[in-house]
Structure 1
Amino acid sequence: MLRTLASVLLLLTGVITLTAADSDDFVELFNGENLQGWTQRNGTATYRVEGDEIVGKTAEGSPNSFLCTDKQYGDFEMTFDVKLDPGLNSGVQIRSQTAGDDPMGRVNGPQVEISYDKMAGYVYGEAAGGWMTADADREPTDLFKQGQWNSYRVVANGDRIQTWINGTQVSDLSHPERFASHPKGFIGLQVHGIKQGTGPFEVRWRNLKLRELP
């Protein structure tokens, strides 16, 4: 009954309110021990496991790097915590692909922004047309906290992508064009390329959880 009610609420509002029963639907994307189930695509940044965290570290001269789930996802709700070194830009790819479906091809698709430039939480089309959130809708925020863990929530349902940072909604985006080209794909943890002579920088993720939506 609770799950039926949650489905009705999703259809009416596009937002799911979690209950104790609903929380059981989430699966851990990271097993807490190793990177089994993940594959690095693009770039030479390094990824390692440190306790209950996945840590990405920049490599000078590398293009953007992505640690990607082997499994693909379409409609889902995802939560994660992230902490970012000052000076680094990052993001989490959703419903993403590689060019020509080649494992070495360029990663492309929607990206939920992780950054200190007050644009955190908005949606960018990585190698897929640039900003998906319209210029007029990207209001600067101070929700992303430097040197602290930040909690993200992402709901992707049809052509609608909603994001929250630390409990506050940032974006409510409908993008039929990108949904048509990227209805499903992998989740990818980005380590952005850096300028020569800078870094190294690190980004850390933990509590990566996802549940697929009916």
Structure 2
Amino acid sequence: MIRPLASLCFVLATILSISAAETTDFVDLFNGKNLEGWTQRNGTATYQIEDGAIVGTTAEGSPNSFLCTDKLYGDFEMTFEVMLDPGLNSGVQIRSQCKDDQPTGRVNGPQVEISYDKMAGYIYGEAAGGWMTPDADRVPNDHVKNGQWNTYRIVAKGDRIQTWINGAQVSDLKHPERFQSHPKGFIGLQVHGIRKGTGPYEVRWRHLKIREL
């Protein structure tokens, strides 16, 4: 009787240790205090810290701006909260890079859409061919709530990218071509360019967490 009980205890301990690892191995991408570990690329939008959130503010006449992690990621799971001003389009770059691998080169790669135009959560190829999610699969949704914090979850593994908004799955995309060209890269927080005479607009991110798979 002792050996079966010991074996059962070992199995339970193993399961609990795995479960604990799955819930504790996320790390903070943003420390809530400063932009250590991040570098701005492209554009003249501003990024600052307010109440533990990264606040991106548009600059009139600026092209798209990106605040990018210094660390590169391949396969990962990521969660964050975002709040967007009406009238502004935004997104989060994943596995992205700069043209010619130069600091000032054009940011390019997959982008998870953040917007109120009902395309939120689908995958766009920023300076990389346009929409990666096929037209037929971009079913309009209203998961993003105006004036509220919205929770995104992204899982990128191999050529598959999955997204959820506020617990509802939006996208389950396989894109071998883009995975071949962008298997690994930085995470980037986009402030979209705006037309002259509009704005300023703000987008806020907080509780950015990631775990590598």
Scaled by the length of structure 2, the TM-score of the pair is 0.92
* Distance in 2 (alpha carbons) for counterparts of 1:194 and 1:211: 33
The SS at the match of 2:179 is helix
Q: 1:26 to 1:3 in 2, by over 3 A?
A: farther
Unpaired runs of 5+ residues, structure 2, are: 1-13
1:30 equivalenced with 2:24 (yes/no): no
* Structure 1 residue aligned with 2:81: 81
Alignment correspondent of 1:49: 49
Partner of 1:72: 72
1:4–1:155 CA distance, 2 compared to 1 (3 A): farther
RMSD: 1.2
The correspondence of residues 55-204 of structure 1 with structure 2, limited to 5 A, is 55-204=55-204
Shift of 1:28: 0.1
Give 1:52 shift.
Answer: 1.1
TM-score (norm 1): 0.91
Q: Distance in 2 between matches of 1:163 and 1:2?
A: 27
**1:85 and 1:147 in contact (8 A); partners too:** yes
Tell me if the contact between 1:41 and 1:103 (Cα under 8 Å) persists in the aligned partners: yes
Distance 1:187 1:92 in 2: 7
Aligned equivalents of 2:81 and 2:93: distance in 1? Answer: 15
CA distance in structure 2 between the aligned counterparts of 1:151 and 1:33, rounded to whole angstroms: 21
1:31-67 CA deviation, whole Å, 9 max, x = no partner?
Answer: 1110010000000000001121000000000000000
Largest Rg, 1 or 2: 2
Runs of 4+ in 1 over 3 A off after TM superposition: 1-5
SS at match of 2:21: helix
Are the counterparts in 2 of residues 110 and 126 from structure 1 also a CA contact under 8 Å? yes
Q: Which runs of 5+ in 1 are unaligned?
A: 6-18
Tell me by how many angstroms 1:20 deviates.
Answer: 4.2
Q: What amino acid does structure 1 have at the position aligned with 2:145?
A: K
Paired residue type of 1:147: G
2:22 aligned with 1:39: no
Give the count of matched residue pairs: 200
In 2, the alpha carbon distance for the partners of 1:210 and 1:4 equals 20
| Alignment CA distance shift 1:180-1:34 (3 Å) | same
Structure 2 match to 1:212: 212
Write out per-residue CA displacement over residues 74-117 of structure 1, whole angstroms, 9 at most, x where no aligned residue: 00000000000000000000000000000000000000000000
Once residues 146 and 131 of structure 1 are traced to their aligned partners in structure 2, the CA distance between those partners, rounded to angstroms, is 24
> Matched residue of 2:162: which SS?
strand
- Counterpart for residue 11 of structure 1: none
Q: Deviations over 1:3-44 (max 9, x none)?
A: 997xxxxxxxxxxxxx44312110000011100100000000
Q: Secondary structure at the match of 2:136?
A: helix
Q: 1:8: which partner in 2?
A: none
Counterpart CA distance in 1 for 2:113 and 2:72 is 20
